[in-house]
Structure 1
Amino acid sequence: MSQRLAEAIRRFRWPLLGLWLAALAVAGVAALNLPDRLSGGGWYVPGSESKAAAESLKSGFASRGASNVTVVVRDDRHTSGDADFDTRVRGVVGEVTGDPRLAVSGSYGWLDATGPARDRFLGADHRTVLTSVGLRLDDGTARRVLPSVQRDLAGRHAADGLRVSLVSAGSLWGEVNKLSEDGLRDAEMLTLPLILLVLLWLYRGVVAAVVSFVVGVTATVCTFGVLSVLAKNHELSIFVENAATMIGLGVSVDYSLFVISRYADELARGRDRRAALATTLRTSGETVLFSGIIVILAMSSLFLIDLNVIHSIALGVIVVVGFAVLASTLVLPAVLYLLGDRVTAGRLPGRGRDRTSAERRWRRLALRIMRRPVAFLAAAAIALVALAVPALHLRTFTPDARIVPASSPVRWGYDTVREQFGQGTASPMQVVVHSDTPLPDTSAADRVLALHDRIARLPGVTRVDSALDALRAASPDRPFAALSPATYGLLPPDVRKGVDHFVSADRRTAVFEVVPDDYAASEHTRALLDAVRAEAGRAAGGGVTAVVGGETAEGVDANAVIQDHLPDVVAIMLAVVYLLLLVTFRSVLLPVKAIVLNLLSIGATYGVLVLVFQYGVLARLLGAEQVGYLQNFVPVLLIATLFSLSTDYEVFLLNRVREEYRAGADNTTSVATGLARTAPLISGAALLMIAVFAAFAFTGILPIQQLGFGLALAIALDATIIRLVAVPAAMRLMGRWNWWLPGRSVRAPAAAPEPRRVPVSQRTSEQ
């Protein structure tokens, strides 16, 4: 098969390259629109309470819209008692509500309330006020528009002593999107030259390094083009761009490294271009293909988790790995055939001497480890288990405003709201209560009132914002009776505006905004959410239903769906890895060994992540803020990605060991020789991946920092403790049972004879 494929690539090399270049050009043009099409959403779980609550609030309420934003204004020159204060605030709010980009449907805040009701919108410093503004913009449009509006407002009023911030999910994710683009650009500026330098060091040849580099870049560009087209009609998370770039560059350059190195080796042994290409496709090409299949199938298991942000990242990784496999097994071989011996052009000195001595060192190391396999395997396992211990205290949650730097106007707005109005004011729980009949005309009103009062008395509740204070002032005994037309028409205009903000126009739905006394992600607030949901459940019945939404509810629901499906995801990944390794190596026990060692490596990675990002150990070196938890999609993405990438090295190493074993070498010799011949490449490939992932760990926003750091650490552990120590020790202990398969002799047949050698003069003249 490899010979037929090599012949097809040779015959159709020019059409193949032309098709790839045409696809690259089209994808490059399409990719230009990708950042504007990505969404900051994707955190709502279909069918969850938090999603139902969010949908219920999109229409039917005054000053609420398809998306909403809170305008935070601080006057550094005046306080609320000064005559100029209201005028200055009114000017800012008027600019926001009159901005055609925002399509404002209404507003409610400091300027609308009178008397004691104004206190809810005034900060403790008497300089900061809030105004809630409803927008007729969907979340995706709001995310694209709000950052530019924020920049305009901040720049226009800073000189006048006014600080203005737009606080909302749309503004936050719009800022995250901008920061993601900046981080991606910084990571690329750091990574791409570094990759090229590492490739030059590995190949000691300019041509091979450039070819490998171009393969990685083109696969990523093609991926962005496809994702941009998909994002036109399907919501894709903003995290997909960073994740696809990070994984794509690492995997693409790794795959090309395996293919180019093997092709150059075959040429150096005297094979002609056809034979070298066929052998390369049979060995490294097969490794790349199986590796890509493993990555794609493992990442596909993430679609079991019904959360769009995870679907988006999984899709991005699948697409970029697919293009990496295509580029490395079809396009790259065509380029290599055209180059022939020129693939080693631009050689740097010292390659041959360094490689020979390096292989001898790796061989000596492998033999030393296999002389005392129990001691080395035990030491490796103990070290990994020790690193994994902190993972027992792993906590996860959805990203909040702390993922953006303190210098951001959006972050300033969130921090100011918490500082001036209470810790939970920026992220209240929203209890949406619906009655089958209008509230003024039904006994269900008693259930709604009782629910409000029970929630207000719960420990950890700072206050409950609703229409009930105003309604009770108008009708103390039967507050909802004040909604009847006769009574409602007598209320002052500002009171009516406040009531309509919390009670729907059809008078069937009321919203209570529960302000906790802690961050949305804290354990205390999560416990409060459970209590609020329990009270909402008690109120149900008699034509009344209640759902609880808000940032905390959204995060808890997302965490729940991840945790519920994580066992299924892991089971499928383990089955995929086992079956594919079983088919690849015709061995029952080698896949088990690979899975156990991968689990140890992943556990150690989780443990270090907890130390760095949850407990803050060395977090400042990364410029990361300690938030007390990991982003909830990071652990599940890590396990899928790391199982895939670790299996890459496993396949590459064991394929070479199997070659030696089938050629007649004993177990110890085949392991030592296989390790000696692959360790330089595995180490180089790992160095490339670490460079890529570490760049994102230092330049990305917090979730990408955690993902990049975790991947870099895991690859470092895999390429050192696992691949260099644990694997040879375990294979030495397993002995001839490494290759055991029921119904087959333990020793495989000898390898086929070596293909004929062709003189250099004939190879260079062959077309």
Structure 2
Amino acid sequence: MSQRLIRTLTRFRWPLLALWLVALVAAGVAALPIADRLSGGGWYVPGSGSQQAIAATRAGFADRGASDLTLVVRDERNTATDPDFEQRVRRAVDRVTGDKRLRTVGSYGWTTLSPAARGTFLGKDRRTAITLVGLELDDGTARRVLPEVQKDTEHRFAPEGLRVSLVSAGTLWGEINTLSQRGLEKAELITFPLLLVILLLLYRTVAAAVVSFVVSATAIVFTLGLMSLLARHFELSLFVENAATMIGLGVSVDYSLFIISRYTDELARGSGQEAALVTTLRTSGRTVVFSGLIVILAMASLFLVDLNVIQSIALGIVVVVAFAVLASVAVLPLVLRLLGDRVLWGRLPGRRAPSGERGRRWQRVARQIMRRPVLFLLTAVIAMAALAAPSLSLRTFTPDARIVPASSPVRQGFDAMRREFGPGTASPHQVVITSRTPLTAAPGAAKIPLLRDRLAALPHVTGVNSPLEALRGASPRRPLGALEPAVFAQLPADARATVDHFVSADRRTLVLEVIGDDHASAAVSRALVSSMRSLVRELDAPGLRAVVGGESAEGVDANAAIEDGLPAVILVMLVVIYLLLLVTFRSVLLPVKAILINLLSLGATYGVLVLVFQHSALAGPLGFQEFGYLQNFVPVLLLAILFSLSTDYEVFLLHRIREEFDGGADNTSSVARGMARTAPLISGAALLMVAVFGAFAFTGIMPIQQLGLGLAVAIALDATVIRLVVVPAAMQLMGDWNWWLPGRPARPARTSPVAGEPAVRP
């Protein structure tokens, strides 16, 4: 197959080159609008209480829309007692609500109520006023439009001493998208020159280093182009772009290294260009295909988690790895065939140690470890376990406004609301009650006022916003009876506006807003969601249903979806990896050893992330912000990515060891020689990946920082402690049991160690 492929590439090389370039340009054009098409959503679990709550409030209310925002206006020159304050605030609010880009459906708050009724919409500093605004914009459109409006508003009113912030999920995710784009650009500016330097040191030739980026460019551009087209029809998370680029760069440079290194080695041995490519595809090409298959299958297991943001990222990684494999075994050989010996152009000055000498160094290291396998294995395991210990306190949640810099107007708006109106006002909990019939006649509706009072009495609740106070003024004993048209018409204008904000026009949906005393991701906020859900379950009446929504509930439901899907993900992934390794190495125990080692590495990685991001260890010097939790999709993504990437290195190493063992070498010699042949390439590949992931860790936003740092730490541990210490020590202790398979025929006779290789005691 390799020979036929190379002959086809040779025969049609110029048409294929033209086809690749045209496709690359077309994919690049398709990828240009991807940032505007990706969504900040994807956190709602289908059918969950939080999803039902938001769906029930998107239509049918006087001043709630498909998306909402809170307009926060702070007058730095006047307070509410100054005559100019109201005029200045109203002018800012009218300017924003009148912006045609927002398609405002209504507003409620400081500018819509009379002075006697709007006190709750004025901050403690008497300088900050808020107005709630409903928009016709769907979430995706809001995320694209609101940042532009925020920027224009800031430029318009900041010179006048007015700080105007548009606080909403749309502005937050729009800002996150902007920061994500900036982080991606910074990461690329750092990564490409750094990778070029590393590749030059590895290849020692300019041409080979430059050609390595052929796979990266193909995989990333094709992936972003396809994701951009898919995003027109399906909701894809904005984290797809960063995650796909980061993983795409990492695996692409690795696959390129495997292919180009083998090709140049074959040329150095005197093989012709076509023969060198055939051998390269038959050996390294096979490794790349198998490696990519492992990554794709491991990432595909994440589709078992019923959360769009995780499925989006998994899809992006699956696609970019698939394109990286395709580019490595088709596009890269085509380019190498066109270049021929010119791939060795631009050789760097200086002498590189001969491969035989480098191999003997790695053999000596391996044999030193295998002389005392118990000591080295216990030391490594204890060290990794110590790193993993903090992971026992791992906490996860969805991102909040704190991932945005404090200098951002969006962040300033969130901070102003929490400071002036209470910590929970920026992310209130919602209890949404729906009825099949109007609430005035619904069975069990009399329980709603009691539910409101019981919610207000819960710990960590500072208040409950509802229409019941306004309705009780007209009907103290039966508040919901005041919704009858004849009675409602007699209410004061302020009371009617309040009721219309909390009760739908058809009088079948009612909203209670519960204000907590902490931010949405705090432990007390999560506990409050649980308490609220226990209370609303008691509202059991025919045709009446209550659900709990809001930012905290959304995060709780997302965490639950991940926890529910995690056992299936782990089971499928481990079974797939075990079976692939079983078939590849025809060994029952080696796949078990590989899985246990990967779990050890994963635990250590989790521990480092908990230390840095939860406990703030080294967070300051490293430039990271302490959040008290990990982004909830980071651990499960790390699980799939690290298992697949670590298995790649395991396969590459064990394949060489197995070749030696099948050739008649004893277990010790097989391990030592296998490490000698693979360690330089594995170390180089790991160095490339650490450079890529590290660049994203120090330039991205919080979730990408955590993912990038986790991957960089894991790959560094895998290439050093795991591959250099744990693997040889474990394989030495297992001896011939490494290759045990029931029914295996007797192996060839063992050979004694070659000259120059010291014997190793069992």
Same fold? TM cut 0.5: yes
> Could you tell me whether the CA contact under 8 Å between 2:444 and 2:539 is conserved in 1?
no
> Could you tell me whether the CA contact under 8 Å between 1:195 and 1:213 is conserved in 2?
no
Mark the runs of 5 or more structure 1 residues left unpaired by the alignment: 752-767
> Which residue does the alignment assign to 2:524?
524
- Whole-Å Cα distance in 1 between the matches of residues 581 and 192 of structure 2? 33
> Which residue does the alignment assign to 2:411?
411
- Whole-Å Cα distance in 1 between the matches of residues 14 and 734 of structure 2? 48
> What displacement does 1:483 show?
1.4
Quickly say closer, same or farther: Cα 1:16–1:650, change in 2 above 3 A: farther
1:258-337 alignment runs, 5 A limit: 258-337=258-337
> Could you tell me whether the CA contact under 8 Å between 1:739 and 1:747 is conserved in 2?
no
> Could you tell me whether the CA contact under 8 Å between 1:310 and 1:633 is conserved in 2?
yes
> Could you tell me whether the CA contact under 8 Å between 1:736 and 1:746 is conserved in 2?
no
Q: Does 1:717 align with 2:717?
A: yes
Q: Does 1:477 align with 2:477?
A: yes
- Aligned letter for 2:191? T
Task: State the secondary structure of the residue aligned to 1:719.
Answer: helix
- Whole-Å Cα distance in 1 between the matches of residues 504 and 408 of structure 2? 35
Q: Does 1:241 align with 2:241?
A: yes
Deviates more, 1:85-94 or 1:353-362: 353-362
> Which residue does the alignment assign to 2:145?
145
> What displacement does 1:355 show?
4.3
> Which residue does the alignment assign to 2:231?
231
Q: Does 1:195 align with 2:199?
A: no
Task: State the secondary structure of the residue aligned to 2:735.
Answer: helix
> Could you tell me whether the CA contact under 8 Å between 2:214 and 2:332 is conserved in 1?
no
- Whole-Å Cα distance in 2 between the matches of residues 442 and 57 of structure 1? 19
Q: Does 1:489 align with 2:496?
A: no
Deviates more, 1:713-722 or 1:479-488: 479-488
- Whole-Å Cα distance in 2 between the matches of residues 595 and 146 of structure 1? 47
- Whole-Å Cα distance in 1 between the matches of residues 748 and 470 of structure 2? 85
String of CA shifts for 1:589-625, please: whole Å, max 9, x gaps.
2111111111100000001111100111111233222
Task: State the secondary structure of the residue aligned to 1:263.
Answer: helix
> Could you tell me whether the CA contact under 8 Å between 1:662 and 1:749 is conserved in 2?
no
Q: Does 1:113 align with 2:113?
A: yes
- Whole-Å Cα distance in 1 between the matches of residues 222 and 328 of structure 2? 14
> Could you tell me whether the CA contact under 8 Å between 2:303 and 2:314 is conserved in 1?
yes
- Whole-Å Cα distance in 2 between the matches of residues 138 and 164 of structure 1? 22
1:11-160 alignment runs, 5 A limit: 11-160=11-160
> Which residue does the alignment assign to 2:566?
566
- Aligned letter for 1:581? L
- Whole-Å Cα distance in 2 between the matches of residues 284 and 525 of structure 1? 52
> What displacement does 1:442 show?
4.1
> Which residue does the alignment assign to 2:757?
none
Task: State the secondary structure of the residue aligned to 1:440.
Answer: coil
String of CA shifts for 1:269-289, please: whole Å, max 9, x gaps.
222223222221121111110
Deviates more, 1:114-123 or 1:324-333: 114-123
String of CA shifts for 1:37-58, please: whole Å, max 9, x gaps.
0000000000100000000000
> Which residue does the alignment assign to 2:430?
430
> What displacement does 1:361 show?
1.7
Quickly say closer, same or farther: Cα 1:264–1:236, change in 2 above 3 A: same
- Whole-Å Cα distance in 2 between the matches of residues 658 and 5 of structure 1? 27
**Paired residues, number:** 751
- Whole-Å Cα distance in 2 between the matches of residues 437 and 385 of structure 1? 59
> Could you tell me whether the CA contact under 8 Å between 1:376 and 1:725 is conserved in 2?
yes
> What displacement does 1:197 show?
0.8
> What displacement does 1:260 show?
0.6
- Whole-Å Cα distance in 1 between the matches of residues 678 and 557 of structure 2? 45
> Could you tell me whether the CA contact under 8 Å between 1:622 and 1:697 is conserved in 2?
no
Q: Does 1:463 align with 2:463?
A: yes
- Aligned letter for 2:254? D
- Aligned letter for 2:537? G
String of CA shifts for 1:53-112, please: whole Å, max 9, x gaps.
000000111110000010000001111111111100010000111000000001111011
Fraction of identical pairs, as percent = 67
> What displacement does 1:13 show?
3.1
> Could you tell me whether the CA contact under 8 Å between 1:740 and 1:746 is conserved in 2?
no
Quickly say closer, same or farther: Cα 1:734–1:274, change in 2 above 3 A: farther
Mark the runs of 5 or more structure 2 residues left unpaired by the alignment: 752-762
- Whole-Å Cα distance in 1 between the matches of residues 698 and 287 of structure 2? 31
1:610-759 alignment runs, 5 A limit: 610-745=610-745, 747=747
Q: Aligned Cα RMSD in Å?
A: 1.5
> What displacement does 1:354 show?
5.7
> Could you tell me whether the CA contact under 8 Å between 2:443 and 2:544 is conserved in 1?
no
- Whole-Å Cα distance in 1 between the matches of residues 583 and 12 of structure 2? 31
- Whole-Å Cα distance in 1 between the matches of residues 324 and 313 of structure 2? 16
Q: Does 1:600 align with 2:603?
A: no
> Could you tell me whether the CA contact under 8 Å between 1:68 and 1:132 is conserved in 2?
yes
String of CA shifts for 1:622-646, please: whole Å, max 9, x gaps.
3222111100000000000000111
- Whole-Å Cα distance in 1 between the matches of residues 550 and 168 of structure 2? 12
> Which residue does the alignment assign to 2:445?
445
- Whole-Å Cα distance in 2 between the matches of residues 362 and 689 of structure 1? 21
String of CA shifts for 1:449-474, please: whole Å, max 9, x gaps.
11111111111111000111111122
Quickly say closer, same or farther: Cα 1:748–1:249, change in 2 above 3 A: farther
String of CA shifts for 1:369-416, please: whole Å, max 9, x gaps.
111111111111111111111111110001111111111111111111
> What displacement does 1:12 show?
3.5
> What displacement does 1:542 show?
3.5
> Which residue does the alignment assign to 2:251?
251
> Which residue does the alignment assign to 1:754?
none
- Whole-Å Cα distance in 2 between the matches of residues 152 and 22 of structure 1? 39
- Whole-Å Cα distance in 1 between the matches of residues 257 and 415 of structure 2? 47
> What displacement does 1:481 show?
1.7
- Whole-Å Cα distance in 1 between the matches of residues 749 and 513 of structure 2? 73
> Could you tell me whether the CA contact under 8 Å between 1:113 and 1:495 is conserved in 2?
no
- Aligned letter for 2:680? P
- Whole-Å Cα distance in 1 between the matches of residues 749 and 632 of structure 2? 49
Quickly say closer, same or farther: Cα 1:663–1:343, change in 2 above 3 A: farther
- Whole-Å Cα distance in 2 between the matches of residues 405 and 514 of structure 1? 27
The two structures have a TM-score, normalised by structure 2, of: 0.96
- Whole-Å Cα distance in 2 between the matches of residues 445 and 216 of structure 1? 61
String of CA shifts for 1:510-549, please: whole Å, max 9, x gaps.
1000001111111111111111111110012243210110
Deviates more, 1:742-751 or 1:1-10: 742-751
- Whole-Å Cα distance in 1 between the matches of residues 706 and 173 of structure 2? 18
- Whole-Å Cα distance in 1 between the matches of residues 364 and 139 of structure 2? 60
> What displacement does 1:19 show?
2.5
- Whole-Å Cα distance in 2 between the matches of residues 93 and 634 of structure 1? 39
- Whole-Å Cα distance in 2 between the matches of residues 728 and 11 of structure 1? 45
String of CA shifts for 1:101-141, please: whole Å, max 9, x gaps.
00000111101122553121110000001100000000000
Task: State the secondary structure of the residue aligned to 1:474.
Answer: coil
> What displacement does 1:655 show?
1.8
> Could you tell me whether the CA contact under 8 Å between 1:638 and 1:707 is conserved in 2?
yes
- Aligned letter for 1:662? D
> Which residue does the alignment assign to 2:169?
169
- Whole-Å Cα distance in 1 between the matches of residues 79 and 587 of structure 2? 77
Task: State the secondary structure of the residue aligned to 1:441.
Answer: coil
- Whole-Å Cα distance in 1 between the matches of residues 189 and 390 of structure 2? 34
- Whole-Å Cα distance in 2 between the matches of residues 663 and 442 of structure 1? 81
- Whole-Å Cα distance in 2 between the matches of residues 331 and 658 of structure 1? 30
Quickly say closer, same or farther: Cα 1:416–1:676, change in 2 above 3 A: same
> Which residue does the alignment assign to 2:393?
393
Deviates more, 1:196-205 or 1:358-367: 358-367
> Could you tell me whether the CA contact under 8 Å between 2:388 and 2:607 is conserved in 1?
yes
String of CA shifts for 1:201-237, please: whole Å, max 9, x gaps.
1100011100002321221111111111111101100
The two structures have a TM-score, normalised by structure 1, of: 0.96
